[in-house]
Amino acid sequence: MNNTNLVPEFPEHLSHRLFSEAQIDRIDSLHVPTVIRFMLADRYDAKFINSTSDTWDFTYSGLKNIIKFDGLDYHEVKLLKYFLAYYIQINSPSNLYLSANKIKSLFNELAERDMEFSYKSFETILLEQAKDIKSSRDYYRVKLFVKLMIVEGFDLFKESDEDKLEILERPSNFNSQLFYQEAEDAISKPAITMIQNGFAKLNLEITKRNLITDNIIKNTSILGLIYVTGMRPVQLSKLSVEDIKIDTYTEEGEHMRYSILVPYAKQGRFNHAKISIKLPEEIAKVILQYIKQFKLSMNHQLFDLGDYAVTYCTTAINEQLFEFSPQKYRQKVLNGEWIQIRYTSTQFRHHVAYSMALSGSSAEDIAYILGHSSLVTARHYIFSSPNLAQVRAIALGRNPVYQQMIAMLMTGDIITHEHSHGENIVGFVNNKVHSNIGKCSYKADCFLEPVRSCYGCVYFHPYVNGNHTEVLECVQNELESIVHISDAVYNSSNPIIAIHEATKFEIESVVRRCELNVEVKNADD
């Protein structure tokens, strides 16, 4: 029975104990999926939650979870359920009740201390928790909640607050001076693969001179520049067409090199010249198509972002990421079954800085590329860069318990040999031929390496009983050899490790998806 209407009633809107009127309106606009499914539930785990119930009762990983929403009013309950639904999509739900209890108690603490529902208040609480060793886990639960408020555009939570959030003091059971040491890349590997695939397909459309809508070409141009440069929206708004440079040119139009002159976002005490940053050819072609399609002259502003550049860029990024997303994911979001995972331009800045730090860039290099007027922030990324032992642990199989849902949907349908989904795929990995993995439905000649590149492609339809574990073993053996060589020459930033680790992750996702497919079929039988 759903008795949400029986929870305590607090005065509405202007006199709400926590939320401002704008926050109330934002909560009203949120959609909590009625059925929240556990994507990777095992055979004896609960498979879903009915979110409309006033008590969530389920078993996962051998642990009984009971979450009660008493003591909160309608809007507090809805926001908490929305956070928990989001949490389930990116984490294992085995300890969901701990996150629920923490955020629930946090609502009451804010009210008791007469603190407004804002980033400033949460920053105060996080700094207090950082000094308490027993609160280390709660610290990260609260941090995830604050990040969601920023991404969802809540009143009193600005995107610029995300920069402050990442360098807050951490619990003392870690080395709290190394602010980023426990941080992971803000952009997940499945999302990176999705973006790269999206640009590759769009380049093919441009080459074929197919019609591309104005909205898609503009959104993709904004996403591409933020993805490779980490520019702030204010920097995007300062760009002109003449800032896009063709550095080398060939008659055949191949092996072109491009760069972009990026203005500093913050000038500080000195006037800085624009920064020249190399542009990947795939992204440069999209931007040139955008300039051509919108008929922009050389001295024209590249992007008209209106009066709210941050909001405009966030919308453009997420619209295009959604466009690049797998069809099944988009359908589930449109049907209200899943919450759309959103990103901010700030997260892409962290991605660029994190990638540079991981590849061995200096604080000076990072500050230069990101347009920082000092080295203070850049040094935090250097502190986060893992040493060789950490890189080796990640490369040799230390993965999070929960594989992200996008990775599970990056490929096409799971099929058997009898299905007509294109041609059978054959290719080499680690000097071995692999042929029994699936079919490719791509109509044109594929420019990617078969087998190795298939596991992150939407045109790949894996065989449910294919030899995916053999491919995984070959990639694993390659990875171990690369790590061994990197160890020998003290090269912890070998980029090939990251590439192979991403491939390994994609293959593992397909293996898990095939296992789930078999489990569901057996359960139906």
Q: What is 345-386 written as a DSSP string? A: HHHHHHHHHHHHHHTT--HHHHHHHHT-SSSHHHHHHHHHS-
* One-letter amino acid of 182: E
* Predicted structure pTM score: 0.76
Contact 142, 344 (CB under 8 A): no
Contact 264, 369 (CB under 8 A): no
Tally the C-alpha atoms within 13 A of residue 305's C-alpha that lie toward its C-beta.
24
> Are residues 507 and 408 in contact, defined by beta-carbon separation less than 8 angstroms?
no
Handedness of CA 445, 451, 454, 459 (dihedral sign): positive
* CB neighbour list of residue 381: distance below 8 Å, 6 or more residues apart: 180, 353, 354, 356, 357, 363, 366
- How many angstroms from the chain centroid is the CA of residue 141? 18
Q: Which two tokens stand for residue 208?
A: 């074929």
Could you say which DSSP state residue 422 is in?
A: S
Q: Which long-range contacts (CB under 8 A, 24 or more apart) does 516-523 make?
A: 516/40, 517/414, 517/464, 518/464, 519/43
CA distance 41 to 36: 12
**pLDDT truncated to tens, each residue of the chain (525 aa)?**
344 444 444 444 457 999 999 999 999 999 999 999 887 777 788 989 999 999 999 999 888 899 999 999 999 999 999 999 999 888 888 889 999 999 999 999 999 999 999 999 999 999 998 887 776 788 889 999 999 999 999 999 999 898 888 778 877 654 434 333 344 567 877 788 889 889 988 998 998 899 999 999 999 999 999 999 888 899 999 999 999 998 887 665 566 789 999 887 655 444 556 778 889 899 999 999 999 999 999 999 999 998 899 999 999 999 999 999 888 889 989 999 999 989 999 899 888 877 777 666 666 667 766 666 555 565 555 555 444 334 433 433 333 433 445 555 667 788 998 888 888 999 999 889 999 999 998 877 777 789 988 988 878 899 999 999 999 999 999 988 888 787 777 666 666 777 787 888 888 888 888 887 787 677 666
Q: Rounded CA gap, 72 and 82, in Å? A: 14
Contact (Cβ atoms closer than 8 angstroms) between residue 119 and residue 154 = no
| Cα 76 to Cα 167: distance, rounded to the nearest angstrom | 28
